[in-house]
A = this chain, B = another copy of it.
Amino acid sequence: MARELHLNLFIHGRGHHEVAWRHPDSAQRAPTDLAHYRDLALAAEAAKLDSVFFADHVALGQDLGYAARGELEPLTLLGALAAVTQRIGLIATASTTYSEPYNLARQFASLDHLSGGRIGWNIVTSWAPAAAANFGQEHQAGIDQRYERAHEFVEVVSKLWDSWAKDAIRDDREAGVYAHADLIQRTEHRGKHFAVAGALNVPRSPQGRPVFVQAGASTDGRAFAARYAEAIFTAHLQKESAITFYSDIKTQARALGRRPDQIVILPGISAAIGSTEAEAQRVWEELNELAHPSVGLSRLSNRFGGHDFSHLKLDQVLSADDFPDPSQVEASRSRAQLITAYVARERPTLRRLLHSLAGARGHFTATGTPEQIADIIEDWFVSGAADGFNVMPPILPTQFTVFTEEVVPLLRKRGLFRSEYRDGTLRDRLGLDPVPSRFDSPTQEQRSA
């Protein structure tokens, strides 16, 4: 079978550009209105996308006067979307640092039941220091500690999701036997961070567990992704770093004994699309003109652990020397590294860097005609930079409408993207192997080993 392109819609308020909320073309509804998300998910489903995705933070962001803050919590939102969609995958972020494994395992297992096997979990360790203060912690744990806990967290919840055999429930009314008690097993996990007896009180879900998605790109993040991730959202300001990342992850996965096709790598793309190049460029410029440089500077500072950039001038050409050593950043380390590498290579002015980051927070941005955007997608897909894309329209819903109406048909014409859904779960659609169960009978091979 030919390689298949995967497309995920990343839904972020009224669009991914930081001032999308002000743009006259963006949604009029409040970002707390279910109808906004329902309509986007239904549009993505009509276009046969693989999935939609919601990011998450467990703290309120900054720049409250200016930025469109205050959104819905993703797991309850996924519950709602599971009920009003039929086929599209539904992916939500949840934190291994600020959740209890038993609670998280139950909610994802329930969502997988509610959706008939369409759920993915974007596993994050939560980099924002403000989050710690909402959970009784004086100081945020360092990146190493967060990942150490994340490894054990994934181990525990994986055991919990493996509590029930596929055929544990008999539901035999005549005999009065509801379940095979010996096909439901306790967890009995005792580790450094967690002690969880189990069993989970939700039966095995259609996919066994949610698809594991990951977006961390630091050294720790990549090692974690190579071990666990089945789909990766990744941010690149340029194709070159996407190729390096792609190759690094697949190599690391192979070294761990995993098949490289079992990790679907989806770089973000935030494209302003117009019927001409000039029109696309105009959309982007309208957005950039609405952006405040001071807000961009404060966000840049956050990415570098609060570093002060206020002495830099907007038209000044930057070099890597203008930035602190990103390997010392404890919060959003990988994003800081990508920004520094981009500056070293492109030598942008501060204004251009801020515009680039305002577009999609460090993800790849582009302007062009549908043909040009389809070219970029095809180019990255065939040249080892991507297995598909995390589609991040700068303005929602209008720029996503253009994407589905103009770009998706081109990708179909080129034989890259599906025209219809096949039956199956999100795992099946992503080409992922079934999740093994501890109750599976050993195969011939295993028996003779």
Contact = CB atoms under 8 A, between A and B. Distances in A.
Contacts of A59: 201
A110 B58 CA distance: 13
Q: Is chain A's binding surface mostly helix, strand, loop or mixed?
A: loop
Given A34-B114, A61-B201, A72-B110, 17 more contacts: A32-B113, A58-B102, A58-B106, A60-B184, A64-B178, A65-B177, A70-B164, A70-B169, A72-B113, A73-B109, A76-B78, A80-B83, A83-B83, A130-B197, A133-B197, A135-B196, A176-B290
A202 interface: yes
A330 B184 CA distance: 28
A22 B76 contact: no
Given A64-B184, A136-B194, A30 B76 contact: no
Contacts of A61: 201
Interface of A: 19, 21-24, 30, 32-34, 38, 57-61, 64-73, 75-84, 98-100, 102-103, 106-107, 109-111, 113-114, 130, 133-137, 163-164, 169, 171, 173, 176-181, 184, 194-203, 205, 290, 292
A176 B76 contact: no
B176 A32 contact: no
Given A135-B102, A176-B290, A114 B195 contact: no
B102 A34 contact: no
Contact of A202 (B33, B72, B130, B173): B72
B80 A114 contact: yes
A81 B80 CA distance: 7
Nearest to A204: B70
B107 A98 contact: no
19 contacts: A30-B171, A32-B205, A34-B113, A58-B102, A58-B201, A64-B179, A64-B184, A70-B179, A70-B201, A73-B107, A73-B109, A73-B110, A75-B79, A79-B79, A83-B83, A99-B100, A133-B195, A176-B290, A176-B292
A111 B107 CA distance: 14
A292 B176 CA distance: 9
Given A34-B83, A76-B78, A179 B21 contact: no
A60 B19 CA distance: 47
Contacts of A199: 60
Contacts of A21: 171, 173, 178
Nearest to A195: B136
Contacts of A184: 60, 64, 70
B82 A84 contact: no
